[in-house]
């Protein structure tokens, strides 16, 4: 679990510059909080009109947000989506493959964290320290760039064509949003059934209701 968690933390910087929102480009990118050239609105963000037919904001946060707050919301969405995309993959991979160490052999994501904390707390502290370092580094870069752009694109994935870039941004947002829901589902599933995602499927325990195995 520790390697999976550590890798998930790296999502804060992975592929970031390939997914700069289309409202920002090239030399126009400056400090988000102070640039008067960029008029940011929820309606103009990539992904605002997908699936919902417009901006879905039941708490009415966007209309009350300043441009700086709106940029922070988008950066936070991208960050959490990237982390959860790796976390969702990690939850599944963990069900099939573990490190050759009894402490890291747990197939259940949440239970594995508890086991590591109990049996090898030093590993948890190392993970938290690594996450904190990445967060500080990312925050220091994010102050001067567009939301989610951490200037890290080692594979050169960011297309130069604006339409292609917008398409790529949209794919990341949709997959990130799905991954956030999926990861929450994996954790809830484990809490209800006592089994990891893969373990539950392979054991035929497809429903937590009325079979004597889960909470219900």
Quick one: pLDDT at residue 214?
62
Question: Does the annotation list 172 as a binding residue?
Answer: yes
Question: Does the annotation list 135 as a binding residue?
Answer: no
Q: Does residue 26 fall inside a structural domain?
A: yes
Q: Tell me: the pLDDT tens digits for 118-162?
A: 999 999 999 999 999 999 998 898 888 888 888 888 888 888 888
**Per-residue model confidence as pLDDT tens for the chain (216 residues):** 444 434 444 443 333 333 333 333 333 333 333 333 345 677 778 887 777 777 888 888 888 888 888 888 999 999 999 999 999 999 999 889 888 888 888 989 999 999 999 999 999 999 999 999 999 998 898 888 888 888 888 888 888 888 898 888 889 999 999 999 999 999 998 888 888 888 888 887 777 676 666 666
Q: Does residue 209 fall inside a structural domain?
A: no
DSSP letter at 33? T
Question: Does the annotation list 175 as a binding residue?
Answer: yes
Quick one: pLDDT at residue 212?
62
Query: Which residues form the domain of 34?
Result: 2-202
Q: Does residue 92 fall inside a structural domain?
A: yes
Q: Does residue 215 fall inside a structural domain?
A: no
Question: Does the annotation list 82 as a binding residue?
Answer: yes
Question: Does the annotation list 98 as a binding residue?
Answer: no
Total number of domains constituting the chain = 1
Question: Does the annotation list 171 as a binding residue?
Answer: yes
DSSP letter at 212? S
- From residue 158, give the alpha-carbon distance in Å to each of 11, 22, 23, 46, 153: 16, 12, 15, 15, 7
| Burial call 18-38: b when 16+ CB within 10 Å, e when fewer | bbbbbbbeeeebeebeebeeb
Quick one: pLDDT at residue 52?
75
- From residue 17, give the alpha-carbon distance in Å to each of 95, 142, 197, 215: 32, 11, 32, 44
CATH number at residue 33: 1.10.3460.10
Q: Does residue 210 fall inside a structural domain?
A: no
Q: Does residue 182 fall inside a structural domain?
A: yes
Quick one: pLDDT at residue 181?
96
Q: Does residue 76 fall inside a structural domain?
A: yes
Q: Does residue 101 fall inside a structural domain?
A: yes
Quick one: pLDDT at residue 2?
41
Q: Encoding tokens for residue 81?
A: 């989506």
Quick one: pLDDT at residue 83?
95
């Amino acid at each position: 679990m520790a390697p999976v968690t550590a890798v998930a933390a790296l999502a804060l910087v992975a592929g970031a510059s390939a997914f700069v929102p289309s409202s920002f480009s090239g030399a126009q990118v400056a400090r988000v909080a102070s640039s008067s050239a960029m008029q940011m609105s929820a309606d103009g963000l990539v992904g605002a009109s997908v699936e919902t037919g417009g901006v879905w904001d039941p708490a009415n946060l966007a209309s009350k947000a300043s441009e700086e707050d709106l940029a922070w919301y988008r950066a936070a969405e991208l960050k959490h989506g990237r982390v959860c995309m790796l976390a969702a993959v990690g939850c599944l991979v963990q069900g099939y493959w573990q490190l050759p160490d009894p402490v890291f052999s747990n197939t259940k994501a949440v239970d594995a964290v508890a086991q590591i904390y109990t049996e090898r707390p030093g590993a948890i502290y190392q993970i938290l320290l690594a996450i904190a370092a990445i967060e500080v580094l990312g925050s220091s870069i994010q102050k001067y760039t567009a939301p989610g752009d951490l200037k890290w694109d080692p594979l050169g994935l960011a297309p130069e064509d604006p339409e292609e870039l917008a398409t790529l941004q949209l794919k990341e947002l949709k997959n990130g949003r799905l991954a956030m829901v999926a990861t929450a589902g994996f954790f809830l599933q484990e809490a209800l059934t006592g089994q990891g995602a893969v373990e539950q499927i392979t054991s035929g325990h497809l429903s937590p209701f009325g079979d004597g195995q889960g909470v219900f």
